[in-house]
Amino acid sequence: AASGAMCSYNAVNGVPSCVNGAMRDVLRGEWGYDGYITSDTPAISCVYENCSGFRGHGFSPNGPAAVCAALKNGTTDVCSGPDFVQHLLAAVAPGAGYGCTMADVDAAVARTMRLRFELGLFDQPASQPLWHVPMSAVRTRASLQLSLETALQGIVLLKNDGGALPILPATAAGRKTLAVVGPSANDTRVILGNYLGDTCDSRSMHDFGCVEPV
């Protein structure tokens, strides 16, 4: 089962994901998720102001209100940006009227600390195997195959209702082809995104020569 989830920058049904009650009611309630939730870096800032080049949602009037909504509605435990540090005390101050208390903070801390204990982060490093993973265990044939299977299972297929996508009629062999055009059609760096480490053997973050289409 998953131990960590991330709320993103975008809104769902008009409500930013990090303050969205669906995180509490659906993810934790209906699905029984009991791990921790972290914000994508400044996603809580985006709830009330422009952030990192993104246009803010303007959903909450200020930082303390956004932080309180993240704790109470989004059950967001970890803020990867500055908002918990800057606004948490104001959000839970007696009489502040934002609707959350230190009990909500305690619940968030408990979820994150439990995971740290489960990972052995408070034990002696010498007794923890994950602190001693050799480089020989990195980028193995088995791990590459697992990465491929994970990517294939994560693909989202869209139904071509009304022929909206430019899919050509079936060929004589029974196959259909799809035209992918534009400046990023074969740009492996754009396709991979920027949340990745050294991909190819050159150990350079700018080398994507080993990436092949599936």
Specify the pairing of strand 4-7 against strand 36-39. parallel
Per the residue annotation, which of 25, 34, 40, 198 is the catalytic one? 40
Q: Tell me which H or E stretch contains 5.
A: strand 4-7
Q: What is the 3-state secondary structure (H, E, C) of 27-83?
A: HHHHCCCCCEEEECCCCCHHHHCCECCECCCCCCCCHHHHHHHHHHCCCCCECCCCH
Please list the residues that pair with 6 across neighbouring strands.
38
Q: Which two tokens stand for residue 150?
A: 């994970």
**Is the separation of the CB atoms in 18 and 39 below 8 Å?**
yes
Q: Which of 58, 60, 96 is nearest to 76 (CA)?
A: 60
Q: Which two tokens stand for residue 25?
A: 């009611």
Alpha-carbon span 8 to 23, nearest angstrom: 11
Amino acid of residue 198:
D
Q: Tell me which H or E stretch contains 11.
A: strand 11-12
Whether 40 is a known active-site residue: answer yes
| Active-site annotation, residues | 40
